Structures are given as C-alpha cells and as structure tokens.
Structure 1
Amino acid sequence: MSEFPASQLIASTILPSQLSLPDVSAYTSKAFGSKTNPHQREAEIESYQWFDSYGIHTGTKRQRFFESGFGLMTAMCYPDCNFARFRITMDLFDDMTDGGALDTVDGMKRAVDVTMKSLREPDSPPPKFKVAATVQHCYNRMRQDGNPAMLRRFVDALDFYTQACFQQKVNRSTDTIPTMEEYIQLRRDTSAMKIGFGGFFTSANGLDRRFAKFHLEAILEYTLDLDLPDQVADHPLVTELALAGNDILTWSNDIYSFPIEFARGDTHNLVCVAMHHNSLDLAGAIDFVNQLTRKRLDEYVEIKANLPSFGSGLDEQLARYLEGIEYCVQGFIDWTFLTPRYFGAEAAQVKETGVVNIIAPITLDTPVTIEA
C-alpha cells in the first residue's frame, strides 16, 4: 500500500507566521500538584543503555531521541514511584516511530499484530520487530511483581491503543477527518495515557498519542503499587476522572503540538478537527480547544468532590491513584516547555511569551520494515 497522501486540510490552509498559545499550566496547576521523581538521573542512565542495546535508533535520530528528555518526562509524571518500577516505566517510554516511520497502513497493521502477539504469548521468543521486543521485555519484568488485575488491564488497554492507532492511520490514508465526537474517543485511545508508552505507534505525534487513559488505568497502578479492585477502578465516577485527566492532557497537547504536527502533515489533532467542522480559523480553533480544556478541568474537580466512599483502605488507595493522575497531567503539560520536542531551542521563550513561530513542512523519516 502506498504511503499516506497529503491532507487536503493542510493543502488548503493558510497559516500565519506566528501563533499565540494559551498558558494551560496556569489554570491546571491550581488544581493539580507537581514534583519530580528523585531517581530520574540514575534510572535514565540505565534506561538509555538498555534502549541502546536494541539498536532502534542510530545517528542523528538517536541523538534527537536522547535530547528529548523522556527521562525527565517520566520523572515528572511518576514522581512517587520506587526505583525498580520507575526503571521499567522509563523503559516503556522508549520512542520508535517519530517522523512517520510506519506511515503505511500495512506497516501499521503488521506492527500492531506483532506487538500484541508478543504480549499474549509473553514466554515466546522475542520478535524481530525491535519495538515489540522492548515492550515484551518490559511486560515480562512487570509480571514478576505486578498483580493480575493490573497486568490484565495493561494488555487490554494496549490492545485498545494499538487498534485506535491503526484506525488513525486508516483515516489519514483516506484523508478522513473524524467528527468532534469521533476524534475525542479516538484520541482517548491513541494517547498513551491509554497505554503509558512513550508513543511508539504514532507518527509525527510521538509521545502525545501515547500518554493517556491506559497509563492512568494500568501503569499508574503499577508505579504506585496499588491493587484497586474492579468495583473501584470501574466505578463510573472513577472512570470519568481518568477520562477527564486524559482529555485535559491530550487536548492541551494538541494545542502545543499543533505547529510541529501540521508541519509534518499530521491532522490527527483537535485543533484541526475544530477548524474543519466548526469553520474556524487557526486562532479561533486554538481558543475553542483551550476553552474545552478549561471546562474539562472544572468537570474533573466537581466529579472528584462528589466521589462516594469505598471504605477504609480503598479510599486511601483511590486518593493516591487520583493524585497520580494529577501529577501525570501536570507533569506532562509542564514538560512540554522543558523539551525541544515541540518548540526546539525556543521552548523557554515560547513558555515566557506564549508566541511560537510556524515552521516550514518537514520531511518524514524512511519507513521501517516490520518483521515478526
């Protein structure tokens, strides 16, 4: 199958030379706390050595990966995790396909199938597809001390995530822009809060699309050594809080990642969806998404205030779980301006001024061959 065509939305959109961005952290930080895991530097050294052993990135791409600061991101999102589990979590954030390396539907389908097979048959030999091999290795380490419910949620959520990422690729292959409702659901599944990985099946989106609901449902339980029973984890209000945290993180990321994604030809972004379906210009779409994010934060705060009691012990675990969600959301938003991933060397200046220069189109990387 041929590579994905250029989006008609991109071809028909005239962008300004600069874009004003809202300060999402200014209002989320009033509800969410932030801190950094003290094990970051020690774990980062070991994790990068482990990642290098698979030979996934070389040359300038390897350098760009290490300079992105995924170790700091993990530390800001999981500040209370002990060293051993923090190491595994950091390894799970290893990045693979930034820049469109899996930019064919067939390539994506093979990647999904190989990766899920490696988790459903975790004792089988490592697959040749290196990213799947790293995920299988991390999962097997988690099996040594993770509880069965968490491990089940991990695999189920990864399955949802990979299937949603595949649908995202199909949409792009046909230049399909989903409706607002369709996009919000798809975005929940393609963010790595759905999986807790640092973006291995997303094209230009990278980390953004890998850090959502799953990360809150399974990885967060693992990092905090929680054992939430289904009646708590699946309670409608608890589920809605996880979804709200996911939405706040991913929608704010859609705002901040828009310039780099648009330059890479990627329209899987709520800003693009708002422009298309609401007939908004870019500034209007940015404001629309920002207001949605504010409203979602208000909903999170209200739902949290109305949670029922699940009994002694469980209430304490749930409080830690929700605090973990909040650290994750706030940590990722703040990390956006501490990495060159989105704004290059101008990240600190963009944070200070709220103004970003729109960049020229970027050439994507050479596609990756997927072998089982």
Structure 2
Amino acid sequence: MSASLSTPRSSTSVTAPKKIVLPDLVSHCTFDLGINRHRKQITTETKKWLFKGDNLVGKKRDAYHGLKCGLLTSMCYPTAGCPQLRVCNDFLTYLFHLDNLSDDMDNRGTRTTADVVLNSLYHPHARHAPARVGKMTRDYYKRMVLTASPGAQQRFIETFDFFFQSVTQQAIDRASGAIPDLESYIALRRDTSGCKPCWALIEYANNLDIPDDVMDHPIIRSLGEAANDLVTWSNDIFSYNVEQSKGDTHNMIPVVMHHEGVDLQSAVDFVGNMCKQSIDRFVEDRSHLPSWGAEIDRQVAIYVGGLADWIVGSLHWSFESERYFGKSGRQVKASRVVELLPRRA
C-alpha cells in the first residue's frame, strides 16, 4: 500500500480516546450525485414486500426505516427504470436484512443460508422454497432475469456465491477472535462487502449487454475494484463506532491498529488516505479506457458511470442513513467528529 502510516503514538495512555475525526471523503469525491425519480414509489413497494408475512416489529422495524435503503438505491442507480430500480432496492434491502430473513431456518449458519439462496438463484422456478429467504430470493430474481443479459445473470450469481464464502470465513474469524493481516483482510472484504453483485445490477438496471471479454479487461476489473474498495473501506470508517461498541474486530481500523502498532486516530487517518487513493485510482483508470467500438464503448461508459454513482452515492447516503450515526448524520458530515460509544457489556 502506498499510504503512509504516521509514527505510532505512545500506547501507555491511561485514558481511551473519546472521539475520532473522520477523513473528508465527500469533498475528495467530485462525481455528480443523482437521485432516481422513482425513489418514493420503490421505497413503498419494497417495504410492503419485506414486511409481508414478517414479524419485523419494534427495533427491527425502526432499523428498517432508519436505514433509508430506498435513498441508497436511488443514488446508486439514478437513471434506472422503475421495474429495475425496484429489483435493485429489493435486493439491497434483503441484503441488509439477511439475518432477519433467515430467522425461520433450522440452522442460522451462513452455509445453510448460502445453500438456500444459491439454490433459489440456480432454480428460480422450482416450487420447493420452505425458508422465507428462499422465497424472497426467487421472487426478485425471477423479475431480474426478464431483462438481465446472460452475462449479468452469471456475474450476479457467481459474485453472490463469493459473498457467502467470504462471510463464512468472516464468521470463523470472529468466533476465534482472529485478526487477519491487512492484505488478507482486504481480499476477504472485497467479497464480504456485497458490492460485486451490485455491480452486476448496474448492467441489469441500465439494460446493458457487455461481452464477457470486455468485463474481464484489466481496466474494467480495476475500476470495479477501486469502487469496491472505496465503498467498503469508507464503510469500515463510518461503521467503526457502532462495531467497536459491540466488540466486533472485523473492520479495517482495528486490523491496522493491531498489525501496524498505531493508535486509533492514526488508523482512521490511514484508512481515510487509502479511500482517497481508491478514488484517485478510479479517476486515473477511467481516463485510460480502451475502445471496443461505438456501441460497446457507449455501454461501458454507462457501466463505469454506474460505478461512479455507487462511489458518490454511498458516501452521501452514509450520513443520511441512521445506521452509522443515528439521527446525527448531517451534523457528523459537517463536523466530521464522532463521539465514541461506550463498550456494551
């Protein structure tokens, strides 16, 4: 990594830090922010879809409303038609609530959930779907395949499979208390983020049919990776406070602190610099796109624009959602100061 760590501060301090200062990622990202005009409609429809036959009450229902997933979807797919935007919003909402949706399964382990979900994707028209998560998977995927290109369908399933493999490893690490080294963490986090299936949804949402060899080009892959890194690493910064209060160490900040021997603010600054470098890398790669002919170039430009929408949309949404900063998101966005929560018992 080219980001430089500051000199480790003394670890003999008696008092733990009470706040952190976030990096200014919003100002570093100069991409245009858009919001899809179908936001209100798909938000209402997805809410009915998610709550159908469910017992999402109390804190779970409040968490859904505070999440503001419809806003995230509308920022990340700003030009999608209403049916496509609805599928994207159903998927993102379902992804955030996957734990809740698998409550009715005999085994809540990630492997069991993965089996149900992937079986539903490979056999969307099969009748047997005992678990609610399987029924919901079939429901949104049957709508997706109506217009998604074969390549987008394949990439969606393959990358969702990678997601489940990586969250299984994450669960193993969490249970053992193991903290991976930075390179191993980055490799795993690129799949646990769930971004890769969302990149396939960029193709679907914009009715693209880009050949496999173009999608496999090193520049296209690098652009997707840079966008994934920005979304994922910035999320680790924004979610750190809530996660540290739970004792969760599967986050880049404690990984950097543990393996590099730096204090909390130095680790936040380091990860923030990595985020800025990922934006810079995206801009640089975008300026070196090769040409595949007029029609393919047109579709590639839309796809790459969709990655940029995800970068800028996820940054702004993180302060609008209540998931990371409660109802203080806009205040935190302005001041960049986060008061640390106490560790839960």
Above 0.5 in TM-score? yes
Q: Mark the runs of 5 or more structure 1 residues left unpaired by the alignment.
A: 1-12, 196-214, 364-372
Q: 1:126 to 1:83 in 2, by over 3 A?
A: farther
Tell me how far 1:356 sits from its aligned partner.
1.0
Aligned to 1:292: 274
1:360 aligns with 2:335: no
Aligned residues: 328
Alignment of 1:189-268 (within 5 A): 189-195=191-197, 215-216=198-199, 218-268=200-250
| Structure 2: distance between partners of 1:22 and 1:62 | 31
Opposite residue 287 of structure 1, the aligned amino acid is: D
| Structure 2: distance between partners of 1:106 and 1:340 | 26
1:156 aligns with 2:155: no
Aligned to 2:85: 86
Q: 1:81 to 1:15 in 2, by over 3 A?
A: farther
Tell me how far 1:359 sits from its aligned partner.
0.8
Structure in which a larger fraction of residues adopt helix: 2
**Cα-to-partner distance string for 1:237-266 (whole Å, 9 max, x where unaligned):** 111110011101111111111101111222
Contact 2:34–2:78 under 8 Å retained in 1: yes
Contact 2:98–2:133 under 8 Å retained in 1: no
Contact 1:237–1:303 under 8 Å retained in 2: yes
Of 330, 336, 339, which residue of structure 1 is paired with 2:318? 336
Q: 1:36 to 1:15 in 2, by over 3 A?
A: farther
Contact 1:19–1:283 under 8 Å retained in 2: yes
Of 283, 296, 302, which residue of structure 2 is paired with 1:301? 283
Opposite residue 51 of structure 1, the aligned amino acid is: L
Opposite residue 243 of structure 1, the aligned amino acid is: E
Opposite residue 308 of structure 1, the aligned amino acid is: P
- Does 128-137 or 242-251 show the bigger shift? 128-137
SS at match of 1:123: coil
Tell me how far 1:132 sits from its aligned partner.
3.0
Contact 2:148–2:203 under 8 Å retained in 1: no
Contact 1:118–1:126 under 8 Å retained in 2: no
Tell me how far 1:127 sits from its aligned partner.
2.7
Aligned to 2:62: 63
Tell me how far 1:147 sits from its aligned partner.
1.6
Of 132, 149, 152, which residue of structure 2 is paired with 1:130? 132
Of 256, 264, 267, which residue of structure 2 is paired with 1:282? 264
Q: Mark the runs of 5 or more structure 2 residues left unpaired by the alignment.
A: 1-13
| Structure 2: distance between partners of 1:92 and 1:362 | 31
Contact 2:231–2:315 under 8 Å retained in 1: yes
Q: 1:56 to 1:250 in 2, by over 3 A?
A: farther
Q: 1:258 to 1:25 in 2, by over 3 A?
A: same
Aligned to 2:18: 17
Tell me how far 1:128 sits from its aligned partner.
3.0
| Structure 2: distance between partners of 1:14 and 1:150 | 51
Contact 2:160–2:194 under 8 Å retained in 1: no
Tell me how far 1:58 sits from its aligned partner.
2.5
- Does 172-181 or 116-125 show the bigger shift? 116-125
**Cα-to-partner distance string for 1:261-312 (whole Å, 9 max, x where unaligned):** 1112221111111011111110010011111112222222111111211111
Tell me how far 1:14 sits from its aligned partner.
6.8
SS at match of 1:19: strand
Contact 1:337–1:351 under 8 Å retained in 2: yes
Q: 1:113 to 1:14 in 2, by over 3 A?
A: farther
Aligned to 2:182: 180
Aligned to 2:3: none
Q: 1:130 to 1:337 in 2, by over 3 A?
A: same
| Structure 2: distance between partners of 1:239 and 1:348 | 33
| Structure 2: distance between partners of 1:97 and 1:361 | 25
Of 246, 249, 255, which residue of structure 2 is paired with 1:273? 255
| Structure 1: distance between partners of 2:117 and 2:74 | 26
Contact 1:78–1:324 under 8 Å retained in 2: yes
Aligned to 2:46: 47
Contact 1:69–1:339 under 8 Å retained in 2: yes
- Does 149-158 or 90-99 show the bigger shift? 90-99
- Does 111-120 or 160-169 show the bigger shift? 111-120
Tell me how far 1:361 sits from its aligned partner.
3.2
Opposite residue 282 of structure 1, the aligned amino acid is: L
**Cα-to-partner distance string for 1:129-161 (whole Å, 9 max, x where unaligned):** 322321221111111222211111111111011
